Amino acid sequence: MKNLFDIKGKVAVVTGGSRGIGEMIATGFVENGAKVYITARKAEACNATAERLSEKGTCISLPYDLGTMEGVEGFAKEIAAREEKLDILVNNAGAAWGEPLDQYPEKGWDKVFDINLKGPFFLIQKLLPLLRKAATYENPARVINTASVNGIVPPILETYAYSSSKAGMIMLTRHLAGRLARENILVNAIAPGPFPSNMMAATLAEMGEEIKKSNPRGRIGEPEDIAGVAIFLASRASAYTTGACIPCDGGSAEV
C-alpha cells in the first residue's frame, strides 16, 4: 500500500495549464516529480508559468490554441516529436460565455463548445498512439477531463453553452472510459466548484462572500484541493477507477 500516489517520472500534458485550475494541477504534478507540458493560447502567460514551475521540477511550455483543429493537430505533433509515450493527459483548457438568453450569440456558443468539448475529444484522438504506448495492464495511462459542477447542477448565471459543454464532457468521459478500458487507458473527470481563477474572478469579486457562506465547507477551493484529486486520478491509487466524475466543490452540488 506504500507509494500509492507516486507519479514521479511520468510524462503529463495539462492543457490550459498557464493559470487557474490548470496551473494548480500542473504545479501538483511538477512538485511530485512528473515531467509536465503545459499549453495555452497566450504564449507569454504559458511561458511565464512554465518558467516559474521549472524552479520546482520539469515544466515545458508549448503554446497552442486548442479551440482550433490546427492547434490541436500542431500540439499533438509537437508532443509526438518530443516524447515516445504519454502517461497522463489532462484536458483542462476551457472557456465560458455569459449573455441573456434572448441575446445569446452563435459565436459564443461555438467558441465555448470548440474549446470545452470538441478540442478535448480530438486531442485525445490525436494523442491516443502515445497513450497506448504508455498503457500497461499493471499501470494504465490516464485521461483526466475537467468538467464542472455546472455540468451537474444548472448555474444561476446565464452561461448556457458552458453548462451544456461540461455536461457533455461528463458523458464523453463515461463513453470513452467504456471504449478505452480494455486498452489500459483510464478516463475520468473532475467537476470543480468555485476556485480562484480568471474565469471566476468577476463572480468571486461580486458574490465571493455569499458563495463561501452557501458552501457546506464554508470556503472556495484551494490549489491542493484540485491537485490532490488529479494526483489520485493519475496514480496507482486509482488503477481500478474509470468513467468516474469526481466533484471537487466542498459539497456545493449537493445542496
Q: Which amino acids are annotated catalytic?
A: 162
Cβ-based neighbour number of residue 173 at 10 Å: 24
The widest CA-to-CA distance across the chain, in whole angstroms, is 56
Residue bearing cell 461555438? 110
Between the CA atoms of 67, 39, 18 and 132, what dihedral angle is there, to the nearest 10 degrees? 110
One-letter amino acid identity for 192?
Answer: P
Hey, is 67 helix, strand or coil? coil
Are 165 and 108 spatial neighbours (Cβ–Cβ below 8 Å)?
no
Mapping DSSP to helix (H, G, I), strand (E, B) and coil, where does residue 150 land? Answer: helix
Spatial separation of the C-alpha atoms in residues 141 and 85, rounded to whole Å: 10
Using CA atoms of 32, 95, 130, 240 in order, give the dihedral in degrees to the nearest 10: 60
Distance from the first to the final alpha carbon of the chain? 35
Q: What are phi and psi of 12, to 5 degrees?
A: -130, 150
